[in-house]
Structure 1
Amino acid sequence: MIDISASVMQFLLAFVVVGPLIGAAAALLPAPPGLKGKSPEQAVLRHGVTVTGAVLAATIVLTLGFDHDQPSKMQATTDISWIPALDVRIHLGIDGISLPLLVMTALLTFLCALYSYFKMPTGPSPKAFVALLLVLESGTLATFAVLDLLLFFLAFEMVLIPMYFLIARWGGEGRGPAAWKFILFTLLGSVVMLLGLLLVGLNSGTFDMLALATDNGRSLTTSVQVIAVLAIGIGLAVKTPMWPLHSWLPDAHTAAPTVGSVLLAGVLLKMGTYGFVRILLPITPDGMHTFAPYLAAFAVVGIIYGSLACLALAKQGAKGDLKRLIAYSSVGHMGFVLLGIATMTPTGVNGALFANIAHGLITGLLFFLVGALKDRTGTTDLDALAQETGAALYGRAPRFGGLLAFGAVASLGLPGLAGFWGEMLALFGAFQPAQGLSRPAFLTFMVFAGIGTLLTAAYMLVVVRRVCMGAVGAVQQEGRALADVQGYEFAAWTPLVALTVLAGLWPAVLLGLTDPAVQQLLAGGTR
């Protein structure tokens, strides 16, 4: 920790939220003559890297100035009246729960901007692409920083339009229907969520999330809490995505450009689970207690369903798409996050928050790799890639093959890498759920989730065998040369690899931030 004044911390957090919006507006302006470089397109892509880099630098300084001795305390807070008639305030702040998500969002967006500078997806003007990317960043960062229910809803919705256009205009085959499916599912879920947020705010007399968390549901009757959890939970579950509200996800991922898939998996899915932790657990505890077993049941079905779908896609002759497979794997991994939340215990919720970060790092890396593989081979069809002997990446592009294998074993939860801790803590939480929850039911959920980890290992190892192994000679005779990892790819992917290893070997870095905040959140209060 470094000593930074409160006013500077406030400014930094405000810049992190608003800076990308200003950058998006600037991206649409003509580039100054001295900054055009070789072309205006290059200038605007460089602008995207600069703005996202500045936001990442600001989040790093925020992290350095954060009081790590008091991670449960809201820091860098700004509280300004916005709509007095409704008592809606521009209320910002970060604690040990939101800070890791803020940093991961800034990092992934910067890496996507850097990757796009060298490998811009095919589509319309780069100006629109960069502007949409920055609006998307602003919305996701705001979601993790705002402390007012209506402001949270606005930030939550703000990301939908830019992601829709990123899929619809820069996506691949089937992008139109996939983009429509994405927007319709998420908008319908959001409408229901808004009704739930209004129900909470109007019945309690405030939309301030800190005041509501401190009240811990005492000003809301149990019936109001149950209705609110159902309404808000549906909107959050669509974004998570929870089975059976997940069907928009595989199509969106398959059609999206590489950076769209990275941000969708690495950041947007986390907005839903963050809402469960920040809003439903502390504000409507009785309602969550009622729905926790059902949430856990849906989570476990998602774990098994996602794994079986991946196994079906991975087998030879199934014409399985590798991007689609990783999308279905996200349904399973986010199931562990929901299971951890459903236990309503510090162990389970800490596991959920850890798994959130791990999934963002690992699946972000996997989508980068699969996108690069498609750029090299023109396909993500597993049968076309592997044919009879396997794609032989180990022999044709050893560094690329090694990275793909690393991403796969990290995703299956290998001890020593980030994916292990979140899933293990979620299972531990299910072993001893919160008081009043049925332990036999949660033990059953734990067993099925454990089976899901075995299925995850099975399909990931099948993918590694088919894509990384094989006879090099047979593939090379067909004249398909394959470039190994390029310099810009190395720059974009190395931070994700390093953080996956760091979080796996030193989980206390993350748990030391989240645990005090989670303990206080579940106890009913935020200072």
Structure 2
Amino acid sequence: MLTALLLIPIIGTLVILPMSEETSRTQIKQIGLIRSLLNFILSIVIWGEFDSSSLQYQFVQEFNTLDFCHLHIGIDGISLYFVLLTTFITPLCLLSNWENLKFGYKYYFIAFLLMETLLIAVFVVLDLMLFYVFFEAVLIPMFLVVGIWGGSITRIRASFLLFLYTLAGSLFMLLSIVVIYYNVGSTDFTILSLSEISFESQKILWLGFFLSFAVKTPMVPFHIWLPRAHAEAPLRGSILLASVFLKLAIYGFLRILINFLPDATHYFSPLVQTIAIITLIYSSLATIRQSDFKRLVAYSSIRHMAVVVLGLFSNTIVGIEGAILLSVAHGFISPAMFILVGGVLYDAFHTRVIRYYRGMTVYMPVFSLLFFLATIANMGIPLSLNWAGEYMSLAGTFQKSPVIGLLGASGILLSSCYGIFLFNRISFGRYSQYLGKAKDVSRREFVMLITLIGVTFVLGIFPNIILNDLHVAVTSLLYTAPSLS
């Protein structure tokens, strides 16, 4: 079934490729949407058949290709929800801006279907070299999406920042992988988990991997590419970038650093937590002063990822499970925020400057209600999945270091500042003199938003739906790294 999960979007691209764009726009969109929905249904079937009590990788398949790397795929409790998040977001991503694309329908949909396959591949491959290949290959279609279909003339600069920042950081990961292969003789996850790597070697390898993941997270001072990419990307690009792209590094932290390099992870944890605190406070303060609402949502994403990193490197089950919960929650709410401000508002008034907006409740009451729910969920209000993930991440951090936990909790106050400011500025007061009358959210937009927001609150009330599948995987992760305790 995992093979089918990878092949369905590729088959969709092969069907779309020979079609004429001028005569088949509706058909191209329908094919892309249907293929992504089929993938989501198949991932639900995999979720239903997943055995949460097993310590082993499940749905394992192996295809021998080259001597030094082979296609070996499978999932466990850690990768399961990243795969589900990818297949859940992709259909909603294709539905956004359904009628707004002016040119390049065929290649636009091909780019997103290819990205879905590459993103799923990152989460299911069980070989370190192929992990790197797919980790970097995702950049190519996203680079084209931002550079070709971006929002303004500065889109070229934003696409190159996205590509060059992340590629440059990942070169150190490639060097680390080459060293591992030279010393161990394999890059297979199973063999690496059984191999002994000296502490001194672990420290050097750890730094190579961490630099790559720190750029992709992103963490200060490697964060500059993200706000620019979000601001210039089309709505679909912003949704996929926020919901799934930022989770690649989180998955890398879990799968590689904590799993294969536990002693170095324990040694460098204070450094990582210090960088995460700096990132959290800086991004929160930067969010408060933003005048472009897509940049504001982008900086708030950096803050959420900083809390996730704190949870991951807390070396506690509660912290790591909370970090995974918050990653999934951010994958729901961040797209909802981008649809509201970068889709509904921007499509109606064609400006992203916050000071031009005021009193939207007058003409758009449904929008204001959905915007309120998304904003409070993004702030981490109780009953939302964001709150459950953020609370557990900070609780795990506090167990190991009360000082770091208290500093991390400062983000709760700062997120309330920019969240309340944004909602109050846009929704209340007299209707802005700079704006004309506008229609409320369309039926398509309402279905997308209520789906994202509804899932966030349902899983926030019943987080054990996710946690029950995480317990064994996270516990076994800690057991394989006893020095983290």
Query: CA 1:400 to 1:83, structure 2 compared with 1: closer, same or farther past 3 Å?
Result: same
- Render the CA deviation track for 1:151-177: whole Å, top value 9, x for unaligned: 111110111010011101111122110
Partner residue of 1:239?
A: 216
Aligned residue in 2 for 1:20: 9
Query: What TM-score do the two structures reach when normalised by structure 2?
Result: 0.96
Q: Which residue of 1 aligns with 2:387?
A: 420
Instruction: Trace 1:78-477 onto structure 2 (pairs within 5 A).
Output: 78-84=61-67, 86=68, 88-116=69-97, 118-122=98-102, 124-173=103-152, 174-213=154-193, 215=194, 219-313=196-290, 320-371=291-342, 372-385=344-357, 391-433=358-400, 442-472=401-431, 475=432
Q: Kindly tell me: are residues 201 and 422 of structure 1, through their superposed partners in 2, closer, same or farther at Cα, counting changes over 3 Å?
A: farther
Question: 1:55-81 CA deviation, whole Å, 9 max, x = no partner?
Answer: 1111111111212343x4311111222
CA distance in 2, matches of 1:147, 1:230: 21
Whether the aligned pair in 1 keeps the contact of 2:52 and 2:470 (CA below 8 Å) is: no
Q: Which moved more, 1:199-208 or 1:442-451?
A: 199-208
* Cα distance in structure 1, aligned partners of 2:406 and 2:390: 13
Q: Is the 8 A contact 1:199 1:224 kept in 2?
A: no
**Residues paired across the two proteins, number:** 479
Amino acid at match of 1:198: V
The alpha carbon displacement at 1:498 in A equals 1.5
Deviations 1:353-412 (A, max 9, x none): 111101111101111111221001111100122xxxxx2222221111111111111111
Task: Tell me how far apart the structure 2 counterparts of residues 186 and 470 of structure 1 sit (CA, whole Å).
Answer: 42
Aligned-residue offset at 1:478: 6.3
How far did residue 342 of structure 1 move? 1.3
Identity within the alignment, %: 34
Q: 182-191 or 494-503: which moved more? A: 494-503
Whether the 8 Å CA contact 2:235–2:339 is kept in 1: the answer is yes
In the TM superposition, residue 269 of structure 1 has moved relative to its aligned partner by 0.4
The answer to whether the Cα contact below 8 Å between 2:53 and 2:472 also exists between their aligned partners in 1 is no
Deviation for aligned residue 1:83: 1.2
Q: CA deviation at 1:443?
A: 2.1
2: distance between equivalents of 1:333 and 1:146?
Answer: 26
1:479 CA drift (Å): 6.6
| Aligned mates of 1:326, 1:521 — CA distance in 2 | 33
TM-score (norm 1): 0.88
How far the C-alpha of 1:200 sits from its partner, in A, is: 2.4
Instruction: Provide the C-alpha distance between the structure 1 equivalents of 2:63 and 2:53, rounded to a whole number of angstroms.
Output: 27
**CA separation of 1:519/1:478 partners in 2, compared to 1, >3 Å: closer, same or farther?**
closer
Tell me how far 1:211 sits from its aligned partner. Answer: 2.8
- Contact in 1 for aligned 2:126/2:189 (Cα 8 Å): yes
- SS of the counterpart of 1:73? coil
Aligned AA (1:23): G
Go from structure 1 to structure 2 and tell me whether the alpha carbon gap of 1:223 and 1:172 turns closer, same or farther (over 3 Å shift).
Answer: same
Task: Using the TM superposition, give the Cα deviation of residue 293 of structure 1 relative to its aligned residue in structure 2, in angstroms.
Answer: 0.8
Distance of 1:398 and 1:126 partners within structure 2:
33
Note the alpha carbon deviations across 1:33-60, whole angstroms, 9 max, x for none.
xxx9x94122111111111111111111
Q: Which residue of 2 aligns with 1:73?
A: 56
Aligned 8 A contact 2:367 2:440 in 1: yes
Whole-angstrom CA distance in 1 between matches of 2:56 and 2:330: 26
The CA distance in 1 between the partners of 2:189 and 2:220, in whole Å, is 28
Q: Distance in 1 between matches of 2:47 and 2:404?
A: 36
Structure 2 runs not aligned, ≥5 long: none
Say whether 1:64 aligns with 2:41: no
3-state DSSP class of the match of 2:440? coil
1:247-278 Cα offsets, whole Å, 9 max, x none, are 10000000000010000000000001100001
Partner of 2:71: helix, strand, or coil?
strand
Structure 2 CA distance for aligned equivalents of residues 68 and 170 of structure 1: 41
Residues 243 and 331 of structure 1 are in contact (CA less than 8 Å); yes or no, is this contact kept in structure 2?
no
Aligned twin of 1:7: none
CA distance in 2, matches of 1:293, 1:236: 17
